[in-house]
Chains A and B, each alone.
Chain A
Amino acid sequence: MRVAERTTHDAGTPARAGAVPSVPAAVVPLRRRRGTNREGLEAGRRSTRTLLWVLLAAAMVLYGFPFLYLLFTSFKTPIDTIAVPPTILPKEWTLENYANALGRSGVPASFINSIQTAIISTVLSLVLAVPAAYGITRYKTLSGRIFIMAALVTRMVPPVAIGIPLASMMASMGLADTPIALSIAHTTISLPLSIWLMSSFFEAVPKDLEEAATVDGCSRLGALWRVVIPVVSGGIAVTAIFAFLASWNEFLFALLMTAIRSQTTPVVIANFQTQFGLDWGSMTALAAVYSIPVILLTLLLQRRIVAGMTLGAVKG
């Protein structure tokens, strides 16, 4: 504050500058120079900040525009949705598309199926990934390293390559067209990522914490449950979100493995595109509704996600 005041004085009018006779003449240019530097620095910071905000806003528009366009399209009339050239805002706002989409047979059931499948898949992923990642990071064995690399390799296989065999396996196990079959299939997608994510979070937890817990009388599992898990709770939230999203948005396995009893909403959304046309309005309306739970979940767990994402960054 004092520096700022002094700087303001120094950079003042010649009359005010002249009102400080005690300052040696040689110092004045130096102070002025310092003041100018600080001002320049401030201005530089301000412009950097402005530039960052502009970039941030541009990125938000870039990422958010498709969703906004989808949202606006869901309120358009049929002819408006196919306008050439397209318009961003509806000329006439209507809820007809929502009525059509939600009134279509199978839509409410598909929502329930999506929720069931995503929950089971998320829990399965966490139940398997947390101990696996903990074991790999705490017991640094060769087999652990091979396992985690192998888990990564499974991410490199195109889903379509395993989709058809998986569908056949589920059918032969009598699980055809059930959410549990689809959940297991979805877990094959999210599990490798979950293990890798959880490993990085466990890596960030100092061993001393566990050792202290052990000294206080905790068993290894007790230390994991009472000390380590609370520390990585943000990471678990992040992993859960990713696993949930992977299942919630998955299309290919759902297409191959579901029929009457377990069809999820992504397949129902795709059903609006038929060989004979594309019902943009209803499709966008259902897609908008389907986005709501994910948006809410993300907002609800926002703090934990941010905390989880920065967990590795504060290590040491």
Chain B
Amino acid sequence: MSTRKTITRLATIGGICTAVALAASGCGAGGPASSSGSAGTSTVNVLVEAGGHAELTGVAEQCKKDTGVDVNFVELPYDGMFNRLSSEFSSGNVSFDVAALDSVWLPSFKDAVQPIDELFTDEAKKDIFPALVKEANVNGHFIGMPAWTNAEIILYRKDLFEDAKNKADFQAKYGYALAAPTTWKQYQDISQFFTKDGMYGTDVKGGVETEWLAHVLQAGSPMVLDDKNNVVIDNAAHKEALDFYTSLVKDAPAGAAQVDWAAAQNLFNQGKTAMTRFWAHAYRQIPKDSAVAGKVGTAPMIAGSAGVGGVPGPWYLTVPKATKNADAAKKFVKCAYDYNDKGIESNLGLAARISAFEKYQDQPGYESFKPLIETLNGKATATRPATEKWQQIVDTVLVPMLQKAVAGGDSATLLADAKKQIEGLLK
């Protein structure tokens, strides 16, 4: 009897809960309804990677004041964003009016977003880094406005570099003054010098490909594919860059094959490495209670025979063809260009316009900006190849190849194998 009463009670509670939940489910608890279905409204939904949300918050506030366009952010984790974009673009039914796309995704979604040529005025093209202007242009049309960009620079332990004993010892051993490295040779020497007493000169990242690709650019070759989409991964520059990359393994913490961005950042912030080649934003994200807080210096990415070169990591604001709110969406994209410097005051602290970086470069706390500008303007700096297969090439060929290389594999053989695999993927 009591069991039946309990069941009846539970059923009643369940029924009430369901009724309440069903009644509430019409709107959910996250905010107003999506506007992409209602044409001509002044509210735009902006799909953005979680880390980039803060970058655009200031822009959204200013845009509301100036144009009356209200912004809802749809925040998604980076790893899931590509799937979501693929799903919505392929269905032709999008829940957002603006999408912030990683540069590597632009070729994949070029047919799903509309041209925004009118926003790329001559003045705008002058104020955006050349590599980004080139990348934003697909098949003769500009399809994405860079919202913020990044590149790897050198972060080093200023305290160690300025130490009198270290300076004297380094001078005695290598015959030149200890300073932030500008060339491959200097990077190798300094890495070797600081690898002692439980500390390492640098890290070697076997789990990510961008850093090695930057060295390829510095060695004077386009990355992996040339302008005509020929696979050039087995040329001399790629081998030279790979040999340089693996030469640092002896001066880096063990397990290089598994080291990725997060691991390298942790090692540096823990004071385990004297230098790191890392994305510029990391300078402003060093924890205040870190062993290296206040002791870090910055320098442009090192140069190879072709000069300073880095791989930019920009995000582009795009307007889907499927949105019914294109006018308001384009207004927001224009705001993002006009108020690009607003992003610099966010946690990430990045922008895309040269003038925005220059506005802050001499202010305390923004010491990473000058090296970043220099790297992004570097002679050898270039964006990744514009192929839809790029992510697949990275995941299935480049990273596994690097992991084998840092574990002692023969570079020429590995590059020749990689060439065959990439050609197979591109067929």
Chain A interface residues (CB < 8 Å from chain B): 77-79, 82-84, 106, 108-110, 112-113, 115-117, 119-120, 122-123, 126, 160, 163-164, 167-168, 171-172, 176-180, 183, 226, 229-230, 233, 252, 255-256, 258-263, 267-268, 270-278
Measured between alpha carbons, how far is A79 from B266 in the docked complex, in Å?
9
Complex: chain B residue closest to A78, CB-CB: B287
Could you mark each residue 36-64 of chain B with 1 if its beta carbon is under 8 Å from any beta carbon of chain A, else 0? 00000000010101111000000000000
Of listed A78, A109, A115, A226, residue having the most chain B CB within 10 A:
A78
Q: Assess the A177–B95 pair: CB atoms within 8 A.
A: yes
Q: Could you show 22 A-B contacts with beta carbons less than 8 Å apart?
A: A116-B21, A116-B28, A123-B18, A171-B91, A177-B34, A177-B95, A178-B26, A233-B3, A255-B80, A255-B83, A256-B80, A256-B87, A259-B95, A260-B34, A261-B30, A262-B29, A267-B76, A267-B80, A273-B77, A275-B78, A277-B262, A277-B265
User: Could you tell me if B33 and A261 are in contact, using CB atoms closer than 8 angstroms?
Assistant: yes
Decide yes or no: A179 and B4 within 8 Å by CB, A113-B29, A274-B50, A277-B265 being known contacts.
no
Q: B30's contact among A120, A180, A260, by CB below 8 Å, is which? A: A260
Q: Does chain A have a CB within 8 A of B6?
A: yes
Additional A-B contact list (20), CB under 8 Å, known A116-B21, A275-B313, A277-B262: A84-B270, A115-B21, A116-B25, A119-B17, A126-B14, A164-B86, A164-B91, A168-B91, A172-B93, A233-B6, A256-B87, A259-B95, A260-B30, A260-B34, A261-B27, A267-B77, A270-B79, A275-B102, A277-B51, A277-B285
User: Chain B's nearest CB lies how many Å from the CB of A133?
Assistant: 16
The answer, yes or no, to whether B75 is at the interface (CB within 8 Å) is yes
Given contacts A110-B30, A176-B34, A261-B31, contact A79 B289 (CB under 8 A): yes
CB-CB < 8 A to B305: which residues of A? none
Q: Interface centre among A123, A167, A261, by most B CB within 10 Å?
A: A261
- A274 x B72 contact (CB < 8 A): no
Q: Which residues does chain B contribute within 8 Å of A268, judged by CB atoms?
A: 75
| Residues of chain A with a CB closer than 8 A to B285's CB | 276-277
Known: A116-B29, A179-B28, A180-B22. A259 touches B50 (CB 8 A): no
| B interface, size bucket | 35 or more
**Residue interface bits B149-185, CB-to-A below 8 A is 1, else 0:** 0100000000000000000000000000000000000
How far, in whole Å, are A117 and B29 apart by their CA atoms in the complex?
A: 11
Interface centre among A109, A120, A172 (most CB of B within 10 A): A120
B7: Cβ under 8 A from any A Cβ: yes
A178 cross-chain contacts in B, Cβ below 8 A: 25-28
A112-B29, A119-B21, A261-B28 given; A171·B3 CB < 8 A: no
A106 interface neighbour in B4, B45, B75, B79, Cβ under 8 Å: B75
CB-defined contacts of A82 to chain B, threshold 8 Å:
265-266, 269-270
With contacts A164-B90, A167-B87, A275-B51 taken as known, whether A113 is within 8 angstroms of B22 at the C-beta atoms is no
Report Cα–Cα, A12/B27, bound state, in Å: 80
Residues of B within 8 A of A110 (CB): 29-30
Asked, given contacts A171-B95, A176-B34, A277-B51, whether A229 binds B262 with beta carbons under 8 Å apart, the answer is no
Closest 10 CB pairs of A and B: A274-B51, A261-B28, A271-B50, A112-B29, A270-B77, A262-B28, A179-B25, A168-B91, A109-B29, A180-B25
Which residues from B are CB-within-8-Å of A252?
Answer: 80
B83 touches A120 (CB 8 A): no
| Cross-chain contact A77 with B29 (CB below 8 angstroms) | no
* Contact among B4, B45, B84 for A260, CB-based, below 8 A: B45
* Inter-chain contact A278/B262, CB cutoff 8 Å: yes
Residues of B within 8 A of A163 (CB): 87
A125 to chain B, nearest CB (A): 11
Contact of A255 among B84, B267, B289, B348 (CB under 8 A): B84
Q: Give Cα A225–Cα B273 distance, bound, in whole angstroms.
A: 69
Kindly report which residue of chain A lies nearest to residue B78, judged by CB atoms.
Answer: A275
Q: Chain B nearest CB: distance from A37 CB in Å?
A: 46
Interface string of B93-113 (1 = CB under 8 A from A): 101100000100000000000
A-chain residues with CB within 8 Å of residue B51 when the two chains form the complex: 274-277
Which of chain B's residues have a CB closer than 8 A to the CB of A168?
87, 91, 93
> A115, A259, A263: which contacts B34 (Cβ < 8 A)?
A259
In the complex, what distance in Å separates the CA atom of A167 from the CA atom of B93?
A: 10
Across the interface, name the chain B residue whose C-beta is closest to A268: B75
Q: Which residues of A contact B75 (CB under 8 A)?
A: 106, 263, 268, 271
- CB atoms of A262 and B30 under 8 A apart: yes
A261/B34 contact (C-beta < 8 A), A78-B287, A164-B87, A270-B79 known: yes
Are A260 and B32 touching (Cβ within 8 A)? yes
A159 to B313, CA, bound (A): 32
A171 and B245 alpha carbons, distance in the complex (Å): 48
List which B334-370 residues lie within 8 A (CB) of chain A: 348
A256 contact from B17, B77, B84, B281, Cβ within 8 A = B84
Which residues from chain A contact B313 at a C-beta distance below 8 Å? 275
Rounded to whole angstroms, the CA-CA distance of A99 and B150 in the bound complex is: 29
Residues of A within 8 A of B3 (CB): 230, 233
Q: Bound state CA distance, A260 and B270, in angstroms?
A: 37
Which of A79, A108, A183 is the one whose CB lies under 8 Å from B287? Answer: A79
Complex CA gap A126/B18 in Å reads 12
Residue of B nearest to A266 (CB): B77
By beta carbon, the residue of chain A nearest B313 is A275
Is residue B279 within 8 Å, beta carbon to beta carbon, of the partner chain?
yes
| Inter-chain contact B80/A83, CB cutoff 8 Å | no
Q: A116-B29, A119-B18, A177-B95 are in contact. Are A256 and B83 (CB under 8 A)?
A: yes
Q: Which A residues are CB-close (under 8 A) to B95?
A: 171, 176-177, 259
B37, chain A: closest CB distance, angstroms: 8
A113, B31: Cα distance in complex, Å: 11
